[in-house]
Each structure stands twice: as C-alpha cells, then as structure tokens.
Structure 1
Amino acid sequence: MPNFAYESKLGGRDGRLICGVDEAGRGPLAGPVVAAAVILNPRRRPRGLDDSKKLDAAQRELLYGRLMERARAGELRFGIGAASVAEITRLNIFHATMLAMCRAVTALRIVPDHALIDGNHCPKDLCCPATAIVDGDAISVSIAAASIIAKVTRDRAMTKLHRRYPAYGWDSNKGYGTPSHHAGLKLVGISPHHRLGFAPVHQQMTLDLELTT
C-alpha cells in the first residue's frame, strides 16, 4: 500500500506542504486528460487510499467521497486541472498531460513546497520544485489520493458526455478503445470529443472524408 514516506522525507510531517499529482485519461481515444493535485494532512489521512487502477469503481467512489469530506473539513487541499481534446491535438498527449498537471497544482490556490509527480517526467512550468516517481500512485499516498480524484472526475465527465453521444459506450469504456467504442466509430463516425491525433480516430476521420468525396 502507498505510504507517507516520500512526503515525510520532504518535511510533510513538519508543516511543509507536499502535494501528490497524478492524471487520468492519457490513453483513451476521446475526452480530456484530467489531473489532480492533493495535499494531505499527515494525521488525518483517509484509510484505504491506493492506486486508482487497483480499485474498482465502487471503491474509488467511496474513497473519493472520503477525500471530499476531508476537503470540506479543511483537512486536505486539492486542485483539478484538465487539457481539452483541442489542446491534446495541438500539443500531443504528453505535453497536454504536463499542462493539466500544472493547472491542477495552480488550482490548489497555494504554492506547495514540493510536488510528487506520478511518472518519470516533471512538468517544466510547475510553480514549485518537484520529484517524479515511477509508479508513484502505488508508493506515495498523496499521489494515490490524486489518482482517485483525477480518475473519478474524468469518469464522471465521460459518463455525462455519454448522454449526448450514446453510440460510443462512454458510460462503460470512458473513451478507451474497446470493441464497443470502435463499433460506435464505424457506425456514426467521429465526434467533437475524439482525439484526432490518435490512430484509430484519424483512420476513421480519413474514411469518413473518403465517403463524402
């Protein structure tokens, strides 16, 4: 289970503000990439926090609720940032993810003393010093908390989009390239929320153009 060791080494138990940062949605064919930044109170951490990928939807929702309760009580800070489909197309998914992470840290409305970033890269434009941790959501409890908030936030957004674009099955696949999503692409073509630079979407867009010319 993730723990507070990295945060403690950086002074997280001594009053320094250490935030964990993670993203959700780098791989899907549609929708934004969403990042979250979380500063936990070392003495008031919700139990059961873990890498969001190891949790099922019900567990994530439960833990998300606990994190929001702590936030309402002033016992943690969190910020959410996103990069749009247009930004993903313009910047590429890597740089769009870095942008979403920067926005999430800025949304904390306080400059952390240090950020722990899931992965092997730190955003260049971050407002504070940072350390990248590979598989950080399984190591740092602050990153694990961020992974849950980012994942639940994005999943809810994709479920909402599903109501407008039901052909793709986004309520279940959240924009990933599942058989149901590919079937929807073949049936109705691409939507404004598809990532044009991703190969299956680009191929479908090319096919749609060929069929209309």
Structure 2
Amino acid sequence: MPDFTFEMQISGRVAGVDEVGRGPLAGPVTAAAVVLRSGFIPEGLNDSKALTAKKREQLYPLILANADVSVAHASVDEIDRLNILRASHLAMVRAIAGLQSPADHALIDGNMIPRDLDIPATTLVKGDSRSLSIAAASIVAKICRDRVLVDLAQQHPGYGWETNMGYGSKSHMSALENLGVTPHHRRSFKPIHNILYQEKIVSD
C-alpha cells in the first residue's frame, strides 16, 4: 500500500504526478499533479488500477476538496507530432504548472523525468502503489481521461469509447473497419496507420 514516506523526506510542497492513456488508439493522454496535505489525506488512496470504478469515484471529490490538484492533457495531434512518451511528459509538465501554488518538488511515477520540467523531481517505479500523492494523481488522471472519452463517445457512437476508453478492444477494432478513422484516433499508432495506409492504397 502507498504511504507518505517519500513526501515526508522532501522539504516543501511535493506534487505526486501520474499519467494515464499511453496505450489507447484514441483520445488524449492525461496527467494529474496532486499536492496532499499531511493530516488531510483521504482514507483508501491506492493505485487507481487497484480500485473499483465506484471507489475511484468516491475518492475523487475528497482529493479535490483536500489537495491542490491540477489536470492537463496532450492532444492526439501532439501525440502524433511528438510521440507518445514526449506527449505524456508534456501533459505532466502542464499539470505541474497548473497547480494553484507552485510545487517545490515532483514525485513522478515511472523512471523518466520530463526534460522540460523546471523543478527538482524524483522518479518512482510503480510509484502509484508506493506514494500516496502519486496514487491520488493516478485516480484523478484516470477519472478525468475516462470522462473525456465518454464525452467523445457521444460524438462518435459505435466505437465503444464509453467502455473501452479508446483501447484497441475487439469491438473498437471492428468499428474501425466498419466506420473508419475519426479525428480523435492516433494516426502514429500502428493499427491506425495501417488502416489509413490500406485506404490510401485502395484509393490510389
């Protein structure tokens, strides 16, 4: 279970940072930065992947009410232009910059520090299961990105984004074959690139 050990070892305001949405074929990549206050930490925080959707929804307003929270995205266009790793880092930097008060240090899930980050940072592999701040960020990022995909699903019905969240599920792949590629699909990702390439060959 995550705890507050890492945060307590660092002086100043520590932001836990996590992202969600590197793997999907559609939609933005989303990052959250969360600065928790000792003594005001909601009970039950854990890696978002270890929680039920109901539990995430219960914790989400508690995190917003008791922490400094910022959410940011990198768009599909930015993912295609920069690559998914750099776009993920861009979303992280934006999330940290969007905090109400500047953070003094970032605890980042993973093993890479975004190169454009202008504050000291520490990486934590599997940080969402080790740090309460990163766990909180993982919950916020997951809920916010899921809500974006649910909204997009209403604009583009048939792809199942309200349940698959843009991942390449069987129903999503079938819809791509039947309905085609939308502006919200990541053209640099191989399955989408291959479909567009085949369409170009046919049209030529």
Identify the TM-score tier after normalising by the shorter chain: over 0.9
After TM superposition, the runs of 4+ consecutive aligned structure 1 residues lying more than 4 A away are: none
1:15-39: CA deviations, max 9, x gaps? Answer: x200100001000000000000000
Equivalence for 2:162: 171
1:88 aligns with 2:84: no
- Kindly indicate whether the alpha-carbon contact (under 8 Å) linking 1:111 and 1:128 is maintained by their aligned counterparts in 2: no
The answer (yes or no) to whether the contact 1:22–1:147 under 8 Å persists in 2 is: yes
1:211 aligns with 2:198: no
Cross-structure match for 1:122: 113
The 2-side partners of 1:69 and 1:38 are apart by 11
Residue 5 (structure 2) pairs with residue 5 (structure 1): yes
Residues paired across the two proteins, number: 204
- Find the aligned partners of 2:14 and 2:64 in 1 and give their Cα distance: 18
Aligned residue for 2:144, secondary structure, equals helix
Report the TM-score, using the length of structure 1 for normalisation: 0.93
Please tell me whether residue 50 in structure 1 is matched to residue 46 in structure 2.
yes
Cα RMSD after superposing both structures:
0.9
Any unmatched runs of 5+ in structure 1?
71-75
Question: How much identity, in percent, do the aligned residues show?
Answer: 49
Question: Paired residue for 1:162?
Answer: 153
Distance in 1, Cα, partners of 2:91 & 2:85 = 10
Matched residue of 1:168: which SS? coil
Structure 2 partner of 1:29: 25
2:190, 2:171 → 1: CA distance?
Answer: 17
Shift of 1:124: 1.3
Rounded Cα–Cα distance in structure 2 between residues aligned with 1:84 and 1:100: 9
Query: TM-score, structure 2 length as denominator?
Result: 0.97
Q: Which AA in structure 1 matches 2:57?
A: E
